């Protein structure tokens, strides 16, 4: 079996888009998926995935062997560690101003810079 596809997923539209993109790749490669729950970068972001998102994951991942990791303390480091044995990491991203990127930092930038495999970023459909 090919190395798994690692997918960061959250309750936002870009998280759902990343989920579908990553699962499509896992199906095409006939491999498993490792899903990692993430929150947004804002202080008001929920800490856990909603019930609706968990149900969407169960439905969308039908037929794909997968495991869902709850929100780790350091999302970026978890994704970097998982990337060592992964085919690819799939990250949800959203548009931000330059100032907001600077003030909030970016898990995505850290993963892109330090991952041990290719990283794909996915935005929500316009």
Which 3-state string (H, E, C) describes 49-69?
A: CCHHHHHHHHHHCCCCCEEEE
CA 86 – CA 32 distance, rounded (Å):
10
How do residues 20-54 score in pLDDT, each as one tens digit?
Answer: 999 999 999 999 999 999 876 554 555 678 888 88
Judged on CB neighbours under 10 Å (0-12, 13-18, 19+), 111 is buried
CA 91 – CA 119 distance, rounded (Å):
7
How do residues 84-95 score in pLDDT, each as one tens digit?
Answer: 999 999 999 877
Residue 25 backbone class (left: φ over 0; alpha: ψ -120 to 50; beta: rest)? alpha
According to DSSP, the residues that pair with 66 across neighbouring strands are 33
Domain count, the chain: 1
55: CATH? 3.40.50.620
Host domain of residue 69: 5-122
Q: pTM of the prediction? A: 0.88
């Amino acid at each position: 079996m090919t190395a798994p596809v690692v997918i960061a997923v959250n309750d936002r539209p870009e998280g759902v888009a990343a989920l579908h993109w990553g699962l499509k790749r896992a199906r095409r490669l006939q491999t498993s998926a490792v899903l990692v729950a993430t929150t947004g970068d804002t202080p008001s972001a929920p800490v856990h995935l909603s019930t609706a998102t968990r149900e969407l994951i169960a439905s969308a991942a039908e037929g794909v062997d997968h495991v869902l990791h709850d929100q780790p303390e350091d999302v970026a480091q978890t994704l970097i560690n998982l990337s060592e044995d992964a085919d690819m990491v799939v990250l949800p991203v959203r548009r931000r101003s330059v100032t907001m990127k600077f003030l909030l930092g970016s898990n995505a930038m850290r993963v892109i810079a330090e991952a041990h495999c290719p990283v794909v970023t996915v935005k929500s459909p316009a």
